[in-house]
A and B are shown apart, each in its own frame.
Chain A
């Protein structure tokens, strides 16, 4: 049985701010279910003795010394902004949270 259904897809689409039509939700539910099942078969191949990993290469502690490097000017920082005011990004008021 697929681990993902149409409601899950609608929920994820809302969280990800992706607008999807009813047709798209139907199609995506089927396609994502296939992907989830595929991942599941990979999971089955790994035994209890294989720890979960987020990185394929066993690197740790890649650090940077605390030394100031380059910065942008405000003009550079704002050069791709859709709108700006007084050297700040201007965005629509969002009432959702503080």
Chain B
């Protein structure tokens, strides 16, 4: 595969002005599908969550899921959109085995929500308004697995296997207006925007919002124009950008690639690009052509959806606290400083900390573990902290082991490593790795006797009431037990032994 030329990001920014357009697909977490009563469940055995509607059998009648419509309206409201008084579904016709009907039921000229905006706060506090063109309802397609050929890629595949469990899962597609004026912050803004949408739909409770499961998926449109020119350049649409980091990387890469194409005097080709996480680059998909003539027409099997103003206001009244307000409230509740809280937000662990606190940890303990241990490990592993594999329960258990004196802080980090290595629960790892602090008094007493005998003058001082001298003896015991003793217990035993009140 030939490697595309790129300019450095800095040079690209000197010469050109980027314009973005972002499409985010959100899978709703309704119990059933958009148009059929089959279950909407991830990860089940192939082709078991389907019925005749999902398989596109002749003569079937789709019926709209009321909850999915309500979720879509909630998303529209949370994105500051207008909600259409009346809207229709349309058929988007295309031939591909991911849809057995040969069309996707979607919305075309009448989206349920339109004309909204989101104010996006960048890491340094700059606020950038992203205008929303529309949010429309549609259905997801089946999942194809390409077999044979190279590593599951479609190029060179011998055949494909299709699982229609995902077929018909309710989707809301959110489309921005062209995003202009972001300049060199375009990659960061793209990431922050997708993060904000994800946060909103999760907060609304309408989607599980797990990007690793494809609940939130992003297509990034990028074009460049010379500074000062109003007309947009030719865009590419990069698909398969399915993590927050990938959104930033893909936009950055495409800006650099477009800049090199334009510098060479060639026009950018309007085409679909595929993002590859492994090489952090895109490859050409298919050029836009008349095959993109989807021959949309109104879906004759579904009647219009009319959203009365009463219904819309009822739904508006159920909306939860917006994430930005929530952040403000959590910061106060947790008592973090501005800097601490900003670090937590920027590290992407606010939700994890909230979950950890609701699982029973204190705000300080939760922050200590996430910021002190997990974020760093995630960086090394090159994944988002929440995807590292540490659950709130693990932290609560680890902290309890420390508080109960079973392990000390140093051992706790080793136990965390064990959890990440898949060795089991914290308790099991303490057992397996033999990490427990020595709490059996027998070995401790022996070590104390030895330490007292080695430093008789210190022992005398303590007997004489100079309790602060005890550190030397405790230190000797800790050394003898290779740090596996509970220092507090050692202190107690020494005082007992010497008959001195602590």
Same complex for A and B? Answer: yes
Closest to B53 in A: A69
Query: In the assembled complex, which residues on chain B have CB atoms less than 8 Å from the CB atom of A88?
Result: 46-47, 145, 161-163
Closest to B157 in A: A93
- B-facing mask of A72-98, CB < 8 A → 1, else 0? 111001100000011111111111111
Is the Cβ of A95 less than 8 Å from the Cβ of B154? yes
Contact A71/B274 with A63-B65, A88-B161 known, Cβ cut-off 8 Å? no
The CA-CA distance from A54 to B110 in the complex, in Å, is 13
- The smallest beta-carbon distance between A87 and chain B, in angstroms, is 5
Query: In the assembled complex, which residues on chain A have CB atoms less than 8 Å from the CB atom of B145?
Result: 88
Number of interface residues of A (CB under 8 A): 37
Is the Cβ of A62 less than 8 Å from the Cβ of B159? no
Is the Cβ of A66 less than 8 Å from the Cβ of B63? no
Stretch from B91-99, B117-125, B195-203, B433-441 contacting the other chain: B91-99
Is A67 in the interface zone, CB < 8 Å from B? yes
Is the Cβ of A62 less than 8 Å from the Cβ of B64? yes
Is the Cβ of A97 less than 8 Å from the Cβ of B50? no
A-B pair number, CB within 8 angstroms: 146
Is the Cβ of B306 less than 8 Å from the Cβ of A61? yes
Is the Cβ of A64 less than 8 Å from the Cβ of B303? no
Is B86 in the interface zone, CB < 8 Å from A? yes
Contact A86/B161 with A68-B37, A94-B97 known, Cβ cut-off 8 Å? yes
The CA-CA distance from A54 to B38 in the complex, in Å, is 27
Secondary structure at the A interface, as helix, strand, loop or mixed, is loop
The CA-CA distance from A67 to B40 in the complex, in Å, is 11
Is the Cβ of A71 less than 8 Å from the Cβ of B51? yes
Query: In the assembled complex, which residues on chain B have CB atoms less than 8 Å from the CB atom of A64?
Result: 32, 37, 63-66
Contact A93/B291 with A62-B64, A66-B66 known, Cβ cut-off 8 Å? no
Number of interface residues of B (CB under 8 A): 61
Is the Cβ of B46 less than 8 Å from the Cβ of A60? no
The CA-CA distance from A62 to B304 in the complex, in Å, is 8
Closest to B311 in A: A61
- A-facing mask of B9-36, CB < 8 A → 1, else 0? 0000000000000000000001110001
Is A65 in the interface zone, CB < 8 Å from B? yes
Query: In the assembled complex, which residues on chain A have CB atoms less than 8 Å from the CB atom of B32?
Result: 64, 66-69
Closest to B63 in A: A64
In chain A, residues 1-22, which have Cβ atoms closer than 8 Å to a Cβ of chain B?
A: 11, 15, 17
Q: What 20 additional pairs, Cβ within 8 angstroms, besides A15-B93, A74-B45?
A: A15-B290, A15-B295, A17-B95, A54-B88, A54-B299, A60-B86, A63-B64, A64-B37, A65-B66, A66-B31, A71-B51, A72-B50, A72-B55, A87-B47, A89-B164, A90-B162, A91-B162, A94-B160, A97-B272, A98-B239
